[in-house]
Amino acid sequence: MPMKRLTIVALVGVNIALFAALLFQTLSLPRAIAQAGAPRGGFVTVTAKPAGRSYEVLYLLDVSARQLHALYPSVQLRNQLVAVAPRDLAKDFAAK
């Protein structure tokens, strides 16, 4: 009987130690602060699914250069992105 009680006490102690470690890890998660201390407006990214396609395109807006880049997955090469020629937004949105 004492061996059974000792085993239960040891398991409870291990569980308490694991719970404390989990709690400590949860309370000390790193914070993600986007662009903290950095100048704003460098790049903006977004994904979108083109009409009639099964894949998504990654759009990258270079604010300072006023260019829109598009990247889509390659059909031949796995895990590779194909870049489309960038669009000049200053020219695209110029008054006509």
pLDDT recorded at residue 64 = 84
Q: Identify which has the larger pLDDT, 84 or 95.
A: 84
Which three-class secondary structure state does DSSP give residue 22? helix
Contact between 69 and 85 under an 8 Å Cβ cutoff? The reply is no
Between CA 47 and CA 58 the distance in angstroms is: 5
| Nearest by Cα to 66 from 36, 93, 35, 31 | 93
Structure tokens at 34: 């986007």
Q: Quick check: is 52 in a domain?
A: yes
Q: Quick check: is 25 in a domain?
A: no
Q: Quick check: is 50 in a domain?
A: yes
Q: Quick check: is 2 in a domain?
A: no
Containing structural domain, residue 79: 43-92
Q: Rounded to 5, what percent of the chain is helix, strand, coil?
A: 30, 30, 40
Q: Quick check: is 76 in a domain?
A: yes
Q: pLDDT over 70 for what percent of the chain?
A: 82
Number of domains in the chain: 1
Checking if the pLDDT of 9 tops 80, the result is: yes
Between CA 53 and CA 74 the distance in angstroms is: 13
Report pTM.
Answer: 0.54
Which three-class secondary structure state does DSSP give residue 17? helix
Q: Quick check: is 21 in a domain?
A: no
pLDDT in tens, 63-90: 888 899 999 998 888 888 999 999 999 9
Q: Quick check: is 4 in a domain?
A: no
Checking if the pLDDT of 37 tops 80, the result is: no
Structure tokens at 93: 């949105």
Q: Quick check: is 63 in a domain?
A: yes
